[in-house]
Structure 1
Amino acid sequence: MIPLAELLRPKNLDEVIGQQHLVGKKKPLRALLEVGKITSLILWGPPGCGKTTLARLIASYVDVEFIQFSAVTGGVAEIRLVIKKAKEDQTLFKKQTVLFVDEIHRFNKSQQDAFLPHVEDGSIILIGATTENPGFEVNAPLISRSQVYVLHALTDEEMREIVKRATEYYKGYTWDERALKHIIKSSNGDARTAINAIELASSFGRKITLKLAEEAIQRKAIYFHYDTISAFIKSMRGSNPDATVHYLSRMIKAGEDPVFIARRMVIFASEDIGNVQPTALVVATACMQAVHMIGMPESGLILAQTATYLATAKKSLSSSTAFWEAMKDIDEENLAP
């Protein structure tokens, strides 16, 4: 049985919801494809924002062989086989190959190096998808030979349109508006999560209530991404360690990415604490590195230790205020060289 997410996948650029800064009228990706050009790309964005969909659409707009490859399950040996076939297709049939590597950041530097000579000589057109900053996770030589496009998490309005398309697939079903709102909010801009939740909820019966939606999305309605991270930051800013741990726990329970939480604390340490207690940035950075190495559930302890440290630290906006004021002066004043 074909998954609903696959059935609903856009067949052309006009069907794409979101990422209009790339695929809208006269925007860079659309402009390239409309003239039949394609180059190696890195698509950087959060889960479920359309990276795989765009990669497939890009290949469909030009006459190329499309090969999808996962950095999670594949290795250098498989890459060599793909590249060998690509060279044969290019020689025998004058046909280029687009190699789509999902989660390219999962490859280490030496594995990524295996692509370089073949990207350079045109044997393959590489499209890499990553949820991590390619500046840190993808080889600099590979980035220099590719165009990096940033994709954004889908907005609630865009998610509503996707959910509408998904529910229209189920004729004769009734959907409680609260259930749909919960799926939209809990999906955090991830279209795949929302569509999968709709598909699962439909298997529970023909009348979908909030309770069934909660079971489908596997998290409670109180766990909303942006509201909770905002409350977490405000709790640290207000020097309230109890509230800080409460909101941290809500995020962890809801399945929030621990690295995302750690990054927010690194930013907070510099922006809200600064030089009044400079060790805060050291602690927060060490936290992010440890979380990246350790993983869940143990990373929860590291996050809690760091969050309470930052919440009880002295606060100062001096350095961040000075920086933004200087940037404002540069924008507004006619400064001499």
Structure 2
Amino acid sequence: MTTVKCPVCAIDLPSDAINDHLDKSCTLAKSPSKPRTSAIQNQIKNENGDWSFMTPASGSVSGSKTKKRKSASKSDAKKPASRVDDNDKDNDNDKNDSDSDLEIIPTQSKKKKAENTTHRQNKQKTDVPPAPIFTTKATQSTPNNLIQAQPLAERVRPTTIDGYVGQEDLMGENGILRSMILSDNIPSSIFWGPPGSGKTTLARIIAHRSNAKLKELSATNSGVAEAKQILDQAKTTLKLNGTRTILFIDEIHRYSKSQQDTFLPYMESGACVVIGATTENPSFKINNALLSRCHVYCLTKLSGEDITTMLRNALHKWRDQNAHHAHQAIEEIIDADFLRYLSSISDGDGRAALNSLEMVLRAVEIRHRSTTTKPTTKEDLLGSLKRSMVLKYDRDGDFHYDSISAFHKAVRGSCVDGALYWLARMVEAGEDALYIARRMVVIASEDVGMADCAALPLATATYQACQFIGLPECRINLAHCTVYLAEAAKSIRSYVGYNNAVDAVRNHPQYPVPIHLRNAPTQLMKSLGYGREYLYNPAYAHPVHQEYFPHDLPHDARLINREHKVHDQQLLDEWEKESVSVKSGDGQLHQQESSVQPAKCPKGLGK
């Protein structure tokens, strides 16, 4: 290949690359054989007047634009380019400007050709290894990095049945789910339970024990299209080699009921086993067609003993995985009592307990390595953990309705302490004060009713006070009304009577209104006898007896206000004094020990 010498940097280059080399300011395909000579550059700069040879001559300005953009032909490229000096400077000026290599501007195709040529040249230089971008002492593999980044709850997650903690009714020695896992006969299922109760762990144990493949999805970040793709793959895999697939869908209630229909044909054909995990009530969040094809397993909160066992196992695994960490400092702080405290504040959530344990381990390790801060004490950690506790309350979930139900039942049962407790649970968790006040208005008529007609105006005033004031001050108004309703006498006459009337309306035909009870606003209606035999009660000094029911309504349906609970305060006080409380030496009434069974409620105080 013919080579030419660059007139700027005096580097030997292929003839077809000289133009691109000059266009890129002498940075393309520099040859290591001959270094760049600054003296030559200075000489050329001085002789040509500040790189004047790189600009077109004045005579070429009048030329056409095509001459300036002319690419170097092969015949031109084969001509050797001599070094510019004083002797041949005049000869170069006599040449046509368009034929000069320095004036030719390469086209796009020429640039690509030059880049390809340079790439081939660099590829041929196998004796010079490429310089590394950076160097590291040791490069860890990606899986190890991902494992190290996992939280403690994920790293210590059990993979065997024996390592599973909690849910004894399902995973105990005689648990139905344990038997199905051991026999590798798991159908499509729904795991319903609170967070941290072991739903995901159960699904992974099933996949680890079974010969099936496990695919995991989360409805929070995966659409139905991705799930359908996995279901199609599961059907193909089962058809080709007989391997089943278990699709675990976390938070399956996030899919709409129409989206849940996607799983139905695959579950019916047995092409895939679908296991869904949800924290919401399946009766409201899961499609009925999907529920009929699944077994619903209800997982409860973990007990304090179960969480303590889980924390103890996690601590042992952590010690095995971190042999170089500060074990002595950790042993001094994390003892059996500390683990029981973590269990008590976790509220049955195993994941929350493990996260608290991990926070403690990291805090102890950081303080142990530091030379400027004082060591961590158990009292410091207990205070931090207590401040980090958050009341779990979902204003749209089951606990929202369960709490207001417990409050209502405590007021109905005249348990002031219980009513105030549930009121505080809801208010402190952020419940809407108007929601609680509305329930009090209902209680005032449903449970107190005719026994104390002042309850309804007080409940209504409480609702208005909550509107005017708002939280946190209106908590006092709520407590005021709660105590009044709980201590008030109770009567359900109006409530039960209305329900009986509804039954009579629904279970019997719609009989016409008796003619003497009809309204007669016109002369025609009066002529037809409307209201003619009606007896106007204020016009009589004695009680008036007339029929107010339809004539054909059976007699048993007319007994709307049947026998009801009668509240006799005097009789109730006597019964409590004799059976529930005992009088001490100071003359005060005190509740008996819980071991003493109270006497049955006397006749007339309840059913």
2:176: which partner in 1?
Answer: 28
How much does 1:239 deviate? 8.3
Q: 1:155 to 1:63 in 2, by over 3 A?
A: same
**1:108 and 2:256 matched:** yes
Helix, strand or coil at the partner of 2:296? strand
Distance 2:208 2:264 in 1: 24
* Structure 2 portions without partners, runs of 5+: 1-147, 320-326, 366-375, 394-402, 450-455, 460-470, 496-563, 565-607
2:262 is aligned with 1:84: no
- Residue 193 in 1 paired to residue 352 in 2? yes
Could you say if the C-alpha distance between residues 312 and 112 of structure 1 is closer, same or farther in structure 2, counting changes exceeding 3 Å?
farther
Matches of 2:253 and 2:477, distance apart in 1: 26
Q: For the residues of structure 2 that align with 1:29 and 1:133, how far apart are their CA atoms?
A: 20
Partner of 1:211 in structure 2?
A: 380
Tell me how far apart the structure 2 counterparts of residues 224 and 211 of structure 1 sit (CA, whole Å): 24
Distance 1:262 1:103 in 2: 31
Query: 1:27 Cα deviation (Å)?
Result: 1.5
Greater Cα radius of gyration, structure 1 or 2: 2
Q: CA deviation at 1:150?
A: 0.7
Identify the match of residue 131 of structure 1 among 271, 274, 279: 279
What corresponds to 2:446 in structure 1? 275
Matches within 5 A, 1:238-249: 238=416, 246-249=424-427
User: Does 2:196 align with 1:48?
Assistant: yes
Which blocks of at least 5 consecutive residues in structure 1 are unaligned?
A: 253-257, 284-299, 323-337
Contact 1:11 1:57 in 2 (8 A): yes
The aligned counterpart of 2:143 is: none
Task: Answer with 200-209 or 17-26: which moved more.
Answer: 200-209
The structural deviation recorded for 1:76 is 1.3
1:314 is paired with a residue whose SS is helix
Deviation, structure 1 residue 8: 1.6
- 8 Å CA contact 2:447–2:491 kept in 1: the answer is no
Opposite residue 186 of structure 1, the aligned amino acid is I
Code of the residue aligned with 1:117 in structure 2: it is P
Could you tell me how far apart the structure 1 residues matched to 2:216 and 2:292 are? 22
Aligned to 2:167: 19
1:12 aligns to what SS in structure 2?
coil
Change (3 A) 1:143 1:306: farther
* TM-score normalised by structure 1 residue count: 0.71
- Written as runs of structure 1 = structure 2, the 5 A alignment for 1:1-337 is 1=148, 2-168=150-316, 169-170=318-319, 171-172=327-328, 173=330, 174-175=332-333, 179-206=338-365, 207=376, 209-216=378-385, 219=388, 233=407, 237-238=415-416, 246-252=424-430, 275-276=446-447, 311=482, 314-315=485-486, 316=490
Q: Which residue of 1 aligns with 2:120?
A: none
Question: What's the CA shift for 1:141?
Answer: 0.8
The higher relative CO (CA closer than 8 Å, separation ≥ 6) is in 1
Identity %: 30
Determine the C-alpha separation between the residues in 1 that align with 2:153 and 2:355. 7
The 3-state SS of whatever aligns with 1:69 is: strand
How far off is 1:3 after superposition?
2.1
1:193 counterpart letter in structure 2: A
Matched residue of 2:364: which SS?
coil
Counterpart amino acid of residue 359 in structure 2: L
User: What are the superposed Cα offsets for residues 189-212 of structure 1, whole Å, 9 maximum, x if unpaired?
Assistant: 100000011111111115562432
Change (3 A) 1:209 1:91: same
- The one-letter amino acid of 1:175's match is I
CA–CA distance in 2 between the matches of 1:24 and 1:241?
Answer: 37
User: d(CA) in 1 for partners of 2:276 and 2:205?
Assistant: 14
CA contact (8 A) 1:47 1:131 kept: yes
SS at match of 1:148: strand
Partner of 1:68: helix, strand, or coil?
A: strand
Backbone CA RMSD of aligned residues: 4.3
> Structure 1, residues 38-71: CA drift from partner, whole Å, max 9, x if none?
1000011111010000111112221111011101
The two structures have a TM-score, normalised by structure 2, of 0.41
Q: Is the Cα contact below 8 Å between 1:273 and 1:313 reproduced in 2?
A: no
Conserved 8 A contact 1:186-1:224: no
Q: Secondary structure at the match of 2:217?
A: strand
- Structure 1 residue 317, shift from structure 2 partner: 9.0
Cα separation, 1, equivalents of 2:425 and 2:156: 35
Letter in structure 1 aligned against 2:237: D
Report the equivalent of 1:292.
none
User: Cα gap change, 1:224/1:91 in structure 2, threshold over 3 Å: closer, same or farther?
Assistant: closer
Q: Which amino acid in the other structure matches residue 333 of structure 2? A: W
Please state whether the residue corresponding to 1:15 is helix, strand or coil: coil
Letter aligned with residue 201 of structure 1: V
Amino acid at match of 1:104: I
Instruction: Pick closer, same or farther for the CA change 1:218–1:72 going to 2, 3 Å.
Output: farther
**SS in structure 2 of the partner of residue 115 of structure 1:** helix
Q: CA deviation at 1:250?
A: 3.7
Number of matched residues? 289
- In 1, are the aligned partners of 2:159 and 2:204 still within 8 Å (CA)? no
Secondary structure of the corresponding residue to residue 237 of structure 2? helix
Please report how far the alpha carbon of residue 219 of structure 1 lies from its aligned counterpart in structure 2 after TM superposition: 2.5
Seen in structure 2, the aligned counterparts of structure 1 residues 164 and 309 have a Cα distance that, compared at 3 Å, is same
Say whether the 8 Å CA contact 1:36–1:62 is kept in structure 2: yes
**Is the contact made by 1:153 and 1:189 (CA closer than 8 Å) also made in structure 2?**
yes
CA distance in 2, matches of 1:5, 1:112: 30
More helix by share: 1
1:306 to partner: Cα distance? 11
